[in-house]
Structure 1
Amino acid sequence: MTDIWIRTLTALGIGAAGAAVAHVIGAPAALLTGPALAVSLAAFAGVRLALPASLRDVAFVVLGVGMGTGVTPASVEAVVAWPVSFAVLAAAVTAILVFGALAVHGLTARERNTSVLAASPGHLSYVLGLSLETRADVGFVTVVQSLRLLALTLVVPLVVGSGTAVGMAQGETLAVHHLACLIAGAVVLGLVLMKLRVPAALLIGGMIVSAVGHAGDWTPGVLPNWLALPGFVVLGTLIGTRFDGMDRAALRSAAGAATVLTGLAVGLAAVGAWIVATLTGLPLVTLLIAFAPGGVETMAAMAVALDADPAFVAAHHVFRLLWLTLVIPLFVERGALSRE
């Protein structure tokens, strides 16, 4: 057995154990938070861990299909309120970026570009690309962003405070032929979206295909637990494996900034969610998850875990990344992108 598979099986074993413990103690979103915390702690302790991209992609397809099964007439009707929510989200994301950059600079005395990119509420691949181009401290940015993602994964369920039976199917499960059609369609659409560089393409593709099938009542039923539950455990494990091989000194130096950024992000996101809930009457729980600046995959899965509207949540997180693509360059030091 090759080293990569030994590390993968180790990560999955620790993730499964973390999920079991979290479920037994009644932790919110146990099959996400349990593996994320357990695998992260193992990585901090020096255990070598891995999760192949192929396994990650399979989990994204499965979770995406599962999210689409939650589409209801009520969620379709709520689309009319989305523009208001998007506008407030844009303001909240911009505020998190600005105040977060000031906080990072004040705490660590890092230069402007490093502070801005470390404070970005998401869009890690884009942020790391800009870090390389602008000669920012890529290591510091990576560690802060990884710690922020882990913290949000653990904090958001506590703030919302429900949904311990994450991923448990309720109602009639999908027929085998319907499930096969949805998975095949999810893979095809996901690959197209990957070509278009859409974030979390396979997950979004699965959700769209499944949502269309359920909205038209062509593919009734929910995802079977034997598929859904491992999908959540893999996603939680993936979050923890981000810390594989990270230097402990780098983790300690970035911990303070990541803690402040997480608190700032949760606070401003909660304010934005409350404003939209007041203006539109949309459920506050759904809005809190939609505004929390975690990973697209993680927050969309969190919506399923906490009985929120996954389509609404996923749309907001994709919008957040698109907004950051436009806004971040405005705060990067002028001329930095063209430096030799």
Structure 2
Amino acid sequence: MTFKLALQTLILTALCGAGGYLASLIHLPLPYMIGSLIASGLIAIVFTDHLPEGYRFPMKFRMIFMALIGVMIGSRVHPDLISEIPTLIASLTVLTGFVFAAHALNYVIFRHLGGYDRATAFYSGTPGGLMESLAMGEEAGADIPVLTMQQFMRIIAVISIVPLGLSLWYGAPVGSAGGQSMAAPNTSPAAIPLALAVGMAGLFVGTAIRLPAAQLTGPLLAAAIVTVAGLADLALPQWAINLSQVVIGTSLGMRFTGLGGRTMAVAAGLSVVSVTAMLGLGALCAGLLHRATGAAFDALLISFAPGGVTEMSLIALSLHANPAIVTLHHVYRIIVTVIEMSVIARFRRAGSL
């Protein structure tokens, strides 16, 4: 990353961080991520002309903070998670059915309500596997700008609706909106270099062995090994967690650079319909599992909500749900989605569907 790009990114992050701070003052859920997302989205759409020509948010910079989030999640892994295995078997089984049902439901929405062609509707409707959906969609002749917009809007809509919906459900602010901290008490900034070192090692290994969502799962597994082995305490201070949220939110909002007009309005409306339908289906699955297993409904709902792995893990952290279990569900959702998408795409190419 050049000095000029680094300076531009730091200025943008600071501006969007101010949006996160304002969001915290009005007690929005996950304020630093959602507030910075709103700020960067406004900059990307309304003030596009003021952005440096050809500017793109550097993904390597974002990856550092995603690794820190992965370390924070991995540090919450404890041996007693083994006792959760019976619940996990049930919920992962139901999640498999959820993926197929959600994709079918989304295809109907994008094909018949949105009027998209078959390839664009099919790959816009996948409940996960963003990069795989874009790559396979391009190969199948989908409208890539529309497909990209729908996939990112899915993630943004989920992370905006879920925390707010849970607050309305419980009749009071929950998680970070209710003043809960995601950080361990009395955490020293001196813990950051070790956490970053573990995160970078996990990122390197995770990428090398091609883990799903390696930028998060690699650091998560590395931190889990260090924590369970009792080698070190990898807790992070709250300001580092807030900064990570700001960087992730800012990078998401910048995906809207240069977009606008009727196409974006239609995509936003379809995204709301699609996400609402998926969350309704997820809530039904979570309710049934809650009755059958006694697992917490809010944790199950977060596990079924089809957002990004990092973003949903942050929501779990803010609600003090077990982030390791939530992350496992979302990684599994992505794996099942990619397998399901590949198999159905093969039948479509063969003319069977």
**TM-score > 0.5 by shorter chain:** yes
Superposed, 1:32-71 pairs within 5 Å as: 32-47=33-48, 48=51, 50-71=56-77
Q: CA deviation at 1:117?
A: 0.7
1:211-235 Cα shifts (integer Å, max 9, x gaps): 2333333323621224222111111
The change in CA–CA distance for 1:146 and 1:140 in structure 2 (over 3 A counts) is same
**Among candidates 157, 173, 187, match of residue 187 of structure 2:** 173
163-172 vs 314-323, greater mean Cα deviation: 163-172
1:284 aligns with 2:290: no
SS of residue matched to 2:116: coil
Q: 1:3 to 1:334 in 2, by over 3 A?
A: farther
Aligned partner of 1:137 among 118, 143, 167: 143
Q: 2:154 aligns with which of 122, 139, 148?
A: 148
Give the corresponding residue for 1:28.
29
CA distance in 2, matches of 1:332, 1:221: 42
> Which moved further from structure 2: 222-231 or 4-13?
4-13
Partner of 2:222: 209
Cα drift, residue 181 of structure 1: 4.0
Cα gap change, 1:223 to 1:54, in 2 (>3 Å): same
What residue identity is the alignment partner of 1:173? T
User: What is the alpha-carbon distance in structure 1 between the residues aligned to residue 153 and residue 304 of structure 2?
Assistant: 18
| Structure-2 residue corresponding to 1:265 | 278
C-alpha contact (below 8 Å) 1:36/1:236 kept by paired residues: yes
Q: Is contact 1:89–1:320 with CA below 8 Å preserved after alignment? A: yes
Is 2:169 the partner of 1:160?
no
Aligned residue pairs total 337
Q: What is the distance in 1 between the residues matched to 2:348 and 2:182?
A: 51
Query: C-alpha distance in 2, partners of 1:69/1:172?
Result: 16
Asked if 1 retains the 8 angstrom alpha-carbon contact of 2:65 and 2:247, the reply is yes
Greater shift after overlay, 228-237 or 307-316? 228-237
Superposition pairs for residues 1-340 of structure 1, below 5 Å? 4-5=5-6, 7-47=8-48, 48=51, 50-72=56-78, 74-161=80-167, 162-164=174-176, 165=179, 168-173=182-187, 176=190, 180-220=193-233, 222-332=235-345, 334=347, 336=349
Q: Which residue does the alignment assign to 2:171?
A: none
Cα deviation 1:119-149 (Å, max 9, x = unaligned) = 1112111001111111111111111111121
Cα gap change, 1:199/1:167 in structure 2, threshold over 3 Å: closer, same or farther? farther
Q: Which whole-Å CA distance do the structure 2 matches of 1:230 and 1:175 have between them?
A: 13
User: CA offsets, 1:55-95, max 9 Å, x none?
Assistant: 11110111111112223455442133211111111111211
Give the root-mean-square deviation of aligned CA atoms. Answer: 2.4
Distance 2:194 2:153 in 1: 38
Q: Distance in 2 between matches of 1:233 and 1:52?
A: 14
Question: For 2:309 and 2:202, how far apart are their aligned partners in 1?
Answer: 17
The two structures have a TM-score, normalised by structure 1, of: 0.91
Q: TM-score, normalised by structure 2?
A: 0.87
Identity %: 28
Cα separation, partners in 2 of 1:217 and 1:320, compared to 1, 3 Å:
same
8 Å CA contact 1:152–1:292 kept in 2: the answer is yes
Q: 1:163 to 1:275 in 2, by over 3 A?
A: same
- The 8 Å contact of residues 44 and 248 in structure 1, kept in 2 or not, is answered as no
Name stretches of at least 5 consecutive residues in structure 1 with no aligned partner.
none
In structure 1, the residue matched to 2:170 is: none
Contact 1:199/1:296, CA 8 A, preserved across alignment: no
Task: Name the amino acid aligned to 1:40.
Answer: G
Spell out, residue by residue over 1:164-189, the C-alpha distance to the aligned partner (whole angstroms, 9 max, x if none): 2465423242684x654443232222
Q: Does the C-alpha gap of structure 1 residues 330 and 289 become closer, same or farther in structure 2, counting only changes over 3 Å?
A: same
Structure 2 Cα separation of the partners of residues 203 and 174 of structure 1: 23
Q: Which runs of 4+ in 1 moved over 6 A?
A: none
Aligned with 1:242: secondary structure? helix
2-structure distance, mates of 1:201, 1:174: 27
CA distance in 2, matches of 1:182, 1:221: 5
